[in-house]
Each structure stands twice: as structure tokens, then as C-alpha cells.
Amino acid sequence: MSRLALADAFAGYVGTDVLRAVSVAVSESEWVGLLGPNGAGKSTVLKAITGQLRLRAGSRTVGEEDARRWRPHRFARAGVRWVGEPRPIFPTLSVAENLAIGGITRRADHDALARHVYDLMPVLYDKRTVAASQLSGGQQQMLAIGQALMSEPRFLCLDEPSLGLAPAAVAAMTDLIHELVASGVGVLWAEQYPEVVLGHCSSVVVLSAGTVVRAAPVADVTRSDIESAYLGERSYEDAPPPETHGNERDEADSARERTRP
């Protein structure tokens, strides 16, 4: 089964590593949740795994191919699509026109792919002549995903698609992802709020400060794993006392001698 993967990846911006030895992988027909607090590096992981960032070290593969030097357009042609903020839709164009742009590399299959998208998201069919700017936030997110689906991707990387959406829209989004995974698409969903994906995904990668603190099937991820990422691995009380060295140790011993009865 084909996989999209980073292994021991170091990447970041302006010479600074945000990710340090990060390994993440998603297979076709798998839903992986990428969890962590704001600033943990989730968006950077998605940009690195989809070729929007160069790796300073580590490996990046699509299937069996070494993709370290691929440019973003090659990832798209290989079936790897990213959806994040800002949403890659055109506000003044209609829903149907936005979908056509998403399928520009698959023009011969446009009609069949558009029918597939409309079958998955009937609301887009109902709004197909409406400008994207007139859609609700949830509908715009659906359109962004539909636009990606027009290239018939093998892997879909979603950067906090629930952001700013009402609970009903989030529920519709998770239902859609279940259908996509069942059809063979591999989904990597980056999310700040664990409760959004823990009940749906098959495995979880938990990030904290640009490193992986836990990667496991969702059934094996504990509350402690989540708290260690969101609240810090140890409290101040759990920290060991600082060591004393050289003169500090001698001064501590002398103080004990002076106070000994």
C-alpha cells in the first residue's frame, strides 16, 4: 500500500528549524490525526510533507519515490493535495468554476470528477452557480476540499479544516472524510482540538514544540500523552533538583557541617 511520509525531518523558516527529527506517515485508506497546541509545528509538517518547504535534513517519500527535491506541482501531479488557510478558492468565481480550476490537470475527466464531488457534497451542487464568497464558512471549506478532489488525489493533507466552523459543519466534515478514507484516500488531518478527530482517526501523531511526543494507534493514546503536549511533559514539582558542581558542592557541604549539632 502506498504511503506519504516524512522521516527524521528538519525544516523551518529563515534558517531556523521548526521541526526537529519529525517522522509522520499516512497510507492510502488511512486517517491520521496530527495533534498539538497552537505553535506545535502542525502546519509546518503539512507544508514539509507536501513540498512547500525544503527539508534541511531527513527524507520525504511518496510511495517508493524519493521526493526530497520535488517541487509542489509535482506533489499535486503525484496525487498529494493540501488544503489550509488561506483557503485555495477564488471568491468571485462560482462553485462550478472553482471546481474546474481544481481539475485543470484532469480536464478530460472533468465531468465525471465533478459528479463525484457533487455526489459527496450535494450542497455544492445546489450552490454550483453561486459565487464562493456567498457561501458559509463550512461550505467554503467543502468547496476547498472539493477543488482538491478534482485532481483525484491519493493523499489529502488538511490544515485545521474545522477552524471557525459550527459543530454541525464540523460533523459534516468528519462524515465526508470517513467517505473519502473508505474510498481509498489517505488523510492527514492537522488539528488543535483533540476531541475533533480522536473519535474518528485510526492513528495519532502528537506534536509539541516541533518534535513528536507520541505516535500510535488512536486506541493506545492516553490522556497523559495529550496533556504532555498541551501542558508540558512535567510540572515544576516533578523536576529533579539542580546538580551542584565543583565549588558549589563544597560550599553546600560546608554549610551542612556548620549547621550540624
Strands (E), the chain: 3-13, 16-27, 31-35, 57-62, 65-66, 80-83, 155-159, 186-191, 203-208, 211-217
Looking at domain 3-79+153-259, its CATH class is alpha beta
- Buried b / exposed e along 163-172 (16+ C-beta atoms within 10 A): eebeeebbeb
List the one residue out of 120, 132, 121, 122 whose CA is nearest residue 96: 132
Per-residue pLDDT tens for 14-31?
Answer: 878 999 999 999 999 999
The pTM score is 0.83
Per-residue pLDDT tens for 57-70?
Answer: 999 999 999 999 99
- Beta carbons of 154 and 80 less than 8 angstroms apart: yes
- Looking at residue 226, its pLDDT comes to 85
